[in-house]
């Protein structure tokens, strides 16, 4: 990598002298020579903007050069000349309107044609330019960002710093990956000409070079034999990457393979001399811990490998893993015994919250049997129609009127009593019952909705339901059979569901939207979808994750984050709903922030169909009296 490629440069284009001077004042202290303290502050701002930590940068001196232009054609010429000289820009700030020449969108399109990887920030007031329209002109939404006029100085600074840092990180990552590929090619050539290497290859995973199942079996037996000769302890850890399928589905298997390789390397580094690592297939790894006294320390190191995201072609993909582990009886345990117990502990860790480690105890065997019984009883409950739907009202911003309803699934077991959805939904997912369960909810909800055709009702959908090739057609047929208008049904989808398989998902969602159904993005801010998905799909509503609301009392920046989300929703023409409102002070802050709807125990708890009808009747009577 040449020194020229490492120069961090920004191009700013605006036809107004005052705006150019504003940029100069805002960005002047970011040019190389800015204080270390300023860099730390800006890193914090950058992390705040993108919702994740920025990857460490080797050279953190700031920005090397800022070039200013007054017209789009001038900016394109400067951009092209820099590319020819091998001195590309890290980011470009373009005003949307720049008379008399072509506008910022056309300039961005031409720059993107010259350099598909350029980070472009479109500066607009959104008065007559929507992000989707701009993106259509430019031709791609990747590495495309938006800044609203009048902009805040810190907002401009944090965006400039983040984009430059990410660009620098990408350059280093590309060089590192190229070096790693060269090393892997050397290893591969050596394996082809060496009989000893061929023997080794039979016990190694071809992608990562880690032990495979056969190699793990042999190494495990050796470790157990050595431990049985003394007072040694052996622990077996089962590692599963959280939501890895999203990487393959969204970014392709080539990127997925590189992701797996890097995670494998990180696991090896975290394990060090305290054990050895194997890849069991897909996104599953195993660690045999040969130094039992280091168990807690090693588990912490393994969990922390997700602190740094995986960088790939300008994208930073989150790395998260769950761990299940068990202690091995060095005299009697086989590898299959250890794997079975660690697998149960892994399921328990995932149920408790992804990104955590859980140990095995005998109660997990009982819990596994219990889940199988619950799965059997749930299947029976679906078949005999013994589930219920309750509905939680969505209120107007002032909290006085019901403006919508959300359908919530409830199950009263004949022996266990009320079973929480937090318990039976994961069991349904693990036992392939989600499609049956989802169909029951859709049918029942549509029957109930006939009783209040003047109120929009929300129904939650899962990623599993969208895996059915004709799911959208089935939903449309159900609504037609029930005799209800699609316009009064709103489907809530979480960011996690979006990430499952965006191509197939988008195809199904488009059919639902064309039929007239509404679409809401649920739990916004808790997953990985972000603004890109909001631009790609025709959402009508944004639901702020309840964690932001609950944090209003304990986290000073929670209100600021909520205001940012509300501003995003307003800019994109979306209704914004706040979930989990339980206290009056939360209601007041959310109302002041501009939320359109409220939902939570402060107003109403979920209630039966009959109670909903009574509530709506009282509201209609009050309306007529007024």
Q: Is the pLDDT of residue 56 over 50?
A: no
Q: Is the pLDDT of residue 418 over 50?
A: yes
Could you give the CA distance from residue 622 to residue 626 in angstroms, rounded to a whole number?
6
What residues pair up with 520 in beta bridges, in sequence order?
492, 541
Q: Is the pLDDT of residue 319 over 60?
A: yes
The answer to whether residues 63 and 9 touch, using CB atoms and an 8 Å cutoff, is yes
Instruction: Name 415's Cβ contacts closer than 8 Å, sequence gap at least 6.
Output: none
Q: Is the pLDDT of residue 284 over 50?
A: yes
pLDDT score for 458: 96
List, in sequence order, every beta strand (DSSP E) within 442-540.
457-460, 489-494, 518-524
- Write out the DSSP string of 508-526: HHHHHHHHT-EEEEEEETS
Weakest-pLDDT range from 55-64, 177-186, 504-513, 607-616: 55-64
CA-CA-CA-CA torsion sign (346, 352, 353, 359): negative
Q: Is the pLDDT of residue 49 over 50?
A: no
For the domain bounded by 3-172, which CATH number is listed? 3.40.50.2300
Q: Is the pLDDT of residue 536 over 80?
A: no
Could you give the CA distance from residue 464 to residue 429 in angstroms, rounded to a whole number?
8
Q: How big is the chain, counted in residues?
A: 626
The 3-state DSSP composition of the chain as helix, strand, coil percent (nearest 5) reads 55, 20, 25
For the domain bounded by 202-361, which CATH number is listed? 3.30.70.270
pLDDT band at 527 (very low <50, low <70, confident <90, very high): low
> β-strand 417-419 against 457-460: which pairing, if any?
unpaired
Side-chain half-sphere of 373: how many Cα atoms within 13 Å?
10
pLDDT score for 224: 92
When the candidates are 3.40.50.300, 3.40.50.720, 3.20.20.450, 1.10.8.640, the CATH number that belongs to 369-625 is 3.20.20.450
Please state the pTM of the whole predicted model: 0.52
Could you give the CA distance from residue 441 to residue 426 in angstroms, rounded to a whole number?
16
Report pLDDT digits (tens) over 121-175.
988 875 656 777 777 777 767 788 888 888 788 888 888 998 988 888 887 887 7
Tell me which DSSP letter residue 63 carries.
B
Cα dihedral 164, 169, 175, 177 in deg (nearest 10):
-140
Mean pLDDT of 447-465: 92
Report pLDDT digits (tens) over 97-130.
887 878 888 899 999 889 888 899 988 875 656 7
Mean pLDDT of 489-511: 77
Report pLDDT digits (tens) over 176-228.
887 888 888 887 777 666 666 666 778 899 999 999 999 999 999 999 998 88
Domain ranges of the chain: 3-172, 202-361, 369-625
Could you give the CA distance from residue 285 to residue 241 in angstroms, rounded to a whole number?
9
């Amino acid at each position: 990598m040449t020194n020229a490629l490492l120069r961090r440069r920004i191009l700013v284009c605006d036809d107004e002298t005052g705006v150019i001077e504003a940029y100069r004042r805002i960005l002047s202290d970011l040019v190389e020579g800015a204080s270390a303290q300023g860099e730390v502050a800006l890193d914090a701002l950058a992390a705040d903007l993108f919702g994740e930590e920025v990857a460490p940068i080797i050279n953190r001196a700031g920005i090397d050069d800022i070039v200013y232009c007054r017209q789009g054609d001038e900016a394109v010429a400067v951009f092209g000349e820099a590319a020819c000289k091998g001195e590309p820009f890290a980011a470009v700030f373009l005003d949307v309107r720049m008379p008399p020449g072509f506008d910022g969108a056309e300039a961005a399109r031409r720059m993107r044609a010259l350099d598909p990887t350029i980070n472009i920030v479109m500066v607009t007031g959104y008065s007559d330019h929507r992000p989707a329209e701009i993106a259509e002109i430019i031709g791609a939404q990747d590495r495309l960002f938006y800044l609203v006029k009048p902009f805040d100085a810190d907002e401009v600074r944090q965006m400039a710093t983040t984009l430059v840092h990410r660009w620098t990180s990408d350059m280093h990552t590309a060089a590192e990956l190229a070096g790693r590929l060269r090393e892997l090619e050397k290893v591969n050539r050596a394996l082809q000409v060496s009989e000893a290497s061929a023997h080794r290859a039979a016990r190694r995973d071809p992608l990562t070079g880690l032990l495979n199942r056969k190699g793990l079996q042999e190494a495990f037996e050796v470790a157990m034999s050595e431990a049985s000769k003394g007072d040694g302890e052996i622990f077996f850890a089962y590692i599963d990457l959280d939501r890895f399928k999203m990487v393959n589905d969204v970014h392709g298997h080539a990127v997925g393979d590189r992701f797996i390789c890097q995670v494998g390397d990180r696991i090896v580094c975290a394990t060090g001399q305290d054990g050895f690592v194997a890849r069991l297939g897909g996104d599953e790894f195993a660690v045999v811990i040969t130094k039992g006294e280091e168990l807690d320390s090693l588990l912490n190191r393994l969990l922390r490998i997700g602190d740094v995201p995986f960088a790939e072609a300008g994208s930073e993909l989150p790395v998260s893993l769950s761990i299940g582990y068990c202690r091995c009886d060095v005299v009697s345990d086989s590898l299959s015994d250890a794997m079975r117990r660690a697998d149960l502990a892994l399921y328990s860790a995932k149920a408790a919250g992804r990104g955590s480690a859980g140990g095995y105890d005998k109660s997990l065997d009982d819990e596994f049997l219990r889940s199988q019984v619950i799965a059997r009883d749930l299947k029976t409950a679906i078949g005999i129609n013994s589930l219920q739907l309750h509905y939680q009202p969505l209120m107007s911003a002032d909290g006085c009127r019901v403006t919508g309803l959300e359908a919530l699934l409830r199950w009263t077991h004949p022996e266990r009593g009320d079973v929480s959805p937090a318990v039976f939904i994961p069991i349904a997912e693990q036992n392939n019952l989600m499609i049956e369960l989802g169909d029951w909810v859709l049918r029942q909800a549509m029957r109930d909705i006939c009783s209040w055709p003047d109120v929009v009702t929300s129904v939650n959908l899962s990623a599993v339901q969208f895996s059915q090739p004709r799911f959208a057609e089935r939903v449309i047929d159900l609504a037609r059979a029930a005799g209800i208008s699609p316009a009064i049904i709103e489907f809530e989808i979480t960011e996690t569901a979006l990430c499952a398989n965006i191509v197939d998902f988008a195809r199904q969602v488009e059919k639902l939207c064309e039929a007239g159904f509404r679409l809401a993005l649920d739990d916004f801010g808790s997953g990985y979808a972000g603004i890109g998905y909001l631009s790609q799909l025709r959402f009508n509503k944004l639901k702020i994750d309840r964690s932001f609301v609950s944090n209003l009392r304990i986290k000073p920046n929670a209100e600021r984050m909520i205001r940012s989300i509300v501003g995003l929703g307003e800019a994109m023409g979306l209704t914004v709903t706040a979930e989990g409102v339980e206290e009056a002070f939360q209601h007041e802050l959310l109302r002041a922030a501009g939320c359109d709807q409220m939902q939570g125990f402060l107003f109403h708890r979920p209630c039966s169909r009959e109670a909903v009808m009574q509530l709506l009747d009282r509201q209609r009577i009050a309306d007529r009296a007024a």
